[in-house]
Amino acid sequence: MSLRIEVRKLDFTAGDTGEKVLSDVSLELGPVRRIAIVGPSGSGKTTFCYHLAGIHPWALVGRSRGSVSLWKEDLRVGMVFQNPENQMFCPTVLDEVSFGGSSGRESVLRALAAVGLEGYEGREISSLSFGQKQRVVIAAFLATGPDLLILDEPTNNLDPVAAGGLFEVLSEVEGTVIVVEHDLERVAGWADVVVEMDRGKVIGWGRPEELFARSSCRPRAMAFADALACKYGLEPPPRSLPSLQGWAEGLRGRLRPLSPLPRPSPGAELLRVEELEAGYLDAPVLSDVSFVLREGEIVAVLGLNGAGKTTLLKCIAGVLRPRRGRVLLRGEDATGRPPEDLFGAVGLVFQNPDYQIFEATVEAECAFCLRDGLSPGERKRRVGRWLELMGIGHLRDRHPLSLSYGEKRRLTLASILVAEPEVILLDEPTTALDEGNLSCLRDILLLLARRYGKGLLITTHDLDFALDVADRLIILEEGKVVKDKALEEVRAEDLTRAGFPLPLSADLALKAGLVERPLGFRSLVEML
């Protein structure tokens, strides 16, 4: 049964900073099954969800005012956080889903079937992929028959295939499901109602096509279609994503193809990886991986979860010793050298900034890498320069843990860049970033490559971002390089065959005959 949701004048003031995280939030939704909450980072989406789930007294420190009514007695709510590992307690799938004791074996098995994990009962949790763990947590809540299931940015760490699978599972769930999500294209095809938040307020809600028609927050494909219509003086494009494809096909032959953006030719060789093989214990992860990275070049390594992307970066940075093969830095053999020896030549920016932040100020955190061998003046100069370039210079005296997620990511990048490495490795840099932060990251990476001549190797699931920034794409499948092509040579089939559906804006541009090869949303808008 779907829930009615009524929120009246909900305020939440954080106890530590006194900041108003939610301000006068009011919302009234009739019985709806699928709700998506969208908005930039820091807009209060998670705080709002804690209130909807009724766990705010334990989850948050601060003062709440106003009311939330879900019109049901003895309401059962489940909330799936971003990291499923923090929500698991037992060694096997069956134990985990039954944990809590109130669900019978039949309802446990039914819940596992609902999330596509039939036959996984005896599997150890540690043997599951990230996406499978997420499904186990969902099943654990489903087994208790929840009236409301909330998922906070569930696709952050999932590849497109797993993310698509998750949304298929969520479509089948009985009861009301609320998803907090940045990917508006995914949301547009799934949600009955989209709620838009900004700066602690609900600024609009409605059916996806209605809301996106009147809001500045739109799926990239719609924004591209609008820009196209504006540029060529076309009639306004349709507001639903499926009809956009027909609309784009109708434009074929009517518009002049777009001229590609100029790409500078890369410089001298910085990094060469030769026939690399690596793995953990008796499980091989990488086999026969070879490629070259040059000065001023951005190479994106695409691959589904478990393809070996992070392992590749760890081998290059010296964190993991390869079993075979060589890593050459400017022609010099660096295979198996420990990361502290490669420090200054190679910089690896990890996915989760919380694993590195420990200093009391942003400036000190950034300067940590430079603690030896530089004068205080030079240290301050370098730190100031990179913090400014990352757009967080004004935050230098703030505590790093008080920064937003996007700012923390920029801080971790700055704290590597101060050592001035020539090769920069970024592990899933787009995870959990909203549109504003993604744009900012793109500009920073292009600046590093084009102006400073750095060689950047990026692992990502985000094909649209890869098509936007990369000069070359490497596709990894089960630890092997199956494609290594310059962006101008990459065809749509190369990507779809590897499990990466084309971003809708790239698909529209191809269908309208504007480009011959897939390109990212921001590049397409710039070309217009």
Partner 1 sequence: MGIFRKFNPLTNLVLFIGLSVVTFFSRSPWPPVAVLVGLTGATAAMRPRTGAMKWPLFSFLIGAPVTLCIFVLSYWAEEGRLAVGLPLGLKEGGLFLSRIGALIMANVLFVRLTDLRSLIASLRALGLPLGVAFLLTAALRFLPLAFEEARRVVEVQRCRGLRRNRILWPPNMLPLIVPLIVINAQRAHEMALTLQMRGIGDRGKFRPILRPMDWMAMATAVAGAILAFGGVI
CB of 319 vs partner 1, minimal distance in Å: 5
Give the whole-angstrom CA distance, residue 21 versus residue 10. 10
Helix (H) or strand (E) holding 273: strand 269-280
Give the whole-angstrom CA distance, residue 65 versus residue 21. 12
Helix (H) or strand (E) holding 197: strand 193-198
| Nearest residue (CB) to partner 1, 78 versus 204 | 78
CB of 405 vs partner 1, minimal distance in Å: 13
- Beta-strand relationship, 472-477 and 3-14: unpaired
- Of the candidates 98, 81, 80, the one whose C-alpha atom is nearest the C-alpha of residue 89 is 98
Within a 10 A sphere around the Cβ of 441, how many other Cβ atoms? 23
CB of 317 vs partner 1, minimal distance in Å: 6
| Nearest residue (CB) to partner 1, 313 versus 440 | 313
Which residues bind to partner 1, rule: CB under 8 A? 53, 55, 58-59, 77-79, 81, 83, 85-87, 89-92, 95, 98-102, 126, 140-141, 144, 280-281, 314, 317, 319, 338-340, 343-344, 347-348, 350, 354-358, 368-369, 372, 401, 415-416, 419
Q: How is residue 392 written in tokens?
A: 């967080």
Question: E-strand spans in 58-111?
Answer: 62-69, 77-80
Amino acid identity of 303?
G
DSSP assignment of 281-349 equals TTEEEEEEEEEEEETT-EEEEE--TTSSHHHHHHHHHTSS--SEEEEEETTEE-TT--HHHHBTTEEEE
CB of 107 vs partner 1, minimal distance in Å: 14
Within a 10 A sphere around the Cβ of 505, how many other Cβ atoms? 30
CB of 2 vs partner 1, minimal distance in Å: 20
| Nearest residue (CB) to partner 1, 222 versus 329 | 329
CB of 120 vs partner 1, minimal distance in Å: 16
- Of the candidates 492, 510, 348, 327, the one whose C-alpha atom is nearest the C-alpha of residue 417 is 348
| Nearest residue (CB) to partner 1, 81 versus 130 | 81
CB of 139 vs partner 1, minimal distance in Å: 12
Contact 411, 357 (CB under 8 A): yes
CB neighbour class for 329 (10 Å; exposed up to 12, middle 13-18, buried from 19): buried
| Nearest residue (CB) to partner 1, 293 versus 369 | 369
CB of 147 vs partner 1, minimal distance in Å: 12
CB of 265 vs partner 1, minimal distance in Å: 30
Residue 401 DSSP label: G
The residues pairing with 299 across neighbouring beta strands, listed in sequence order, are 457, 472
| Nearest residue (CB) to partner 1, 85 versus 526 | 85
| Nearest residue (CB) to partner 1, 140 versus 286 | 140
CB of 347 vs partner 1, minimal distance in Å: 7
Contact 243, 213 (CB under 8 A): no
Contact 473, 466 (CB under 8 A): yes
| Nearest residue (CB) to partner 1, 224 versus 350 | 350
Using left for φ > 0, alpha for ψ between -120 and 50, and beta otherwise, residue 18 falls in left
| Nearest residue (CB) to partner 1, 366 versus 473 | 366
CB of 96 vs partner 1, minimal distance in Å: 9
| Nearest residue (CB) to partner 1, 127 versus 171 | 127
Q: What torsion do the CA atoms of 12, 18, 23, 24 make, to the nearest 10 degrees?
A: 70
Within a 10 A sphere around the Cβ of 348, how many other Cβ atoms? 22
| Nearest residue (CB) to partner 1, 96 versus 196 | 96
| Nearest residue (CB) to partner 1, 419 versus 515 | 419
Contact 70, 148 (CB under 8 A): yes
- Of the candidates 194, 183, 188, the one whose C-alpha atom is nearest the C-alpha of residue 243 is 188
Per-residue CA distances from 219 to 5, 189, 192, 228, 464 (Å): 25, 11, 16, 14, 12
CB of 53 vs partner 1, minimal distance in Å: 7
| Nearest residue (CB) to partner 1, 129 versus 215 | 129
CB of 340 vs partner 1, minimal distance in Å: 5
